[in-house]
């Protein structure tokens, strides 16, 4: 189910990339056309409006020309959003633990309408982690409950790993994004000092302030991506833990009905009179 879900949610990647291209590409071209309209002198009065605030035009200019690390941060943000959406779709409860299948399977099993072959066929017909876990339990039909639980812990480890797949990527983006942002800030500050090396007068301090403010945008973006990645990472881990706990409860219910202990009381009622009759026949001796 999880493997098919990742293929079914591939459209999310295309949507995220398309939105990123729409959000980034048009403003760059539009601002590039508006750039020549600004003042061309280098006096303090004309340069004050440009250095007064960090607007969208200056950020887009830095993205396209001045600070290449922001492209890496943009890719990191796309990865974060894409994997978060993919896991949110893949970890929906109805996909992992189908309510209709679980209720029907447990009801038919408790009423004795399922034997080993029919239960195996029913589990194979349902492509979900819960169906595969039930299939692992049914394979050990009639064995002691302790043996089934030990075998299930080994067999179900793959299902848990599939549920946690791609979540580690969010942990990676949470670690990588601040480092990329800090590197982008350092590169921006170096470029700012290089750019103002040949300037003099009041424009020098203004250009330095503007360059540092633009460079710090890289760190801010990296921290924002890291915060979003950490929140998504722990949220998805918590959802996986809840789903695994619920699957374990349902699996224990199935084990209690297919284990040897569930069938042994019938044998005891049959064998007990034989033991008493033997003791009565042997007592006179």
Give the separation between CA 50 and CA 54, rounded to whole angstroms: 8
Q: Describe the crossing of helices 167-195 and 202-258 by its angle, rounded to 10 degrees.
A: 170
pTM for the whole thing?
Answer: 0.67
**Cβ neighbours of residue 121 closer than 8 Å, sequence gap 6 or more:** none
Confidence of residue 200 (pLDDT cuts 50, 70, 90): low
pLDDT at 263: 66
CA quadruple 44, 47, 48, 54: dihedral positive or negative? negative
> What confidence tens digit (pLDDT) does each residue in 13-51 have?
444 444 444 344 443 333 334 444 444 433 443 444 444
pLDDT at 275: 41
**Cβ neighbours of residue 142 closer than 8 Å, sequence gap 6 or more:** 116, 258, 259, 260, 263
> What confidence tens digit (pLDDT) does each residue in 98-112 have?
999 999 999 988 888
pLDDT at 154: 86
């Amino acid at each position: 189910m999880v493997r098919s879900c990742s293929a079914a949610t591939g459209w999310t990647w295309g949507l995220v990339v398309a939105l990123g291209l729409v959000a980034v590409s048009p403003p760059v071209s539009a601002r590039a056309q508006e750039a020549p309209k600004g003042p061309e002198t280098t006096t303090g009065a004309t340069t004050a409006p440009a250095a007064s605030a960090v607007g969208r035009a200056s950020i887009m200019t830095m993205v396209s020309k001045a600070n290449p690390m922001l492209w890496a941060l943009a890719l990191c943000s796309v990865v974060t959003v894409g994997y978060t959406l993919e896991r949110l779709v893949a970890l929906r409860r109805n996909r992992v633990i189908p309510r209709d299948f679980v209720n029907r399977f447990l009801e038919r099993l408790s009423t004795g309408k399922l034997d080993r072959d029919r239960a195996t066929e029913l589990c194979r017909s349902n492509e979900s982690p819960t169906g595969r876990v039930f299939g692992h339990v049914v394979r050990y039909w009639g064995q002691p409950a302790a043996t089934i639980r030990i075998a299930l812990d080994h067999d179900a480890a793959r299902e848990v790993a599939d549920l946690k797949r791609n979540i580690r990527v969010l942990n990676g983006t949470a670690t990588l994004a601040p480092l990329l942002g800090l590197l982008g800030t350092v590169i921006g500050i170096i470029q700012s000092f290089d750019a103002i090396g040949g300037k003099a007068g009041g424009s020098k301090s203004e250009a330095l302030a503007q360059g540092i403010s633009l460079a710090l945008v890289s760190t801010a973006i990296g921290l924002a991506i890291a915060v979003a990645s950490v929140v998504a990472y722990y949220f998805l881990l918590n959802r996986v833990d809840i789903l695994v706990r619920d699957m374990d409860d349902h699996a224990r219910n199935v084990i209690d009905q297919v284990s040897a202990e569930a069938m042994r009381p019938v044998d005891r009622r049959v064998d007990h009179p034989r033991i008493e009759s033997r003791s009565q026949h042997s007592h006179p001796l």
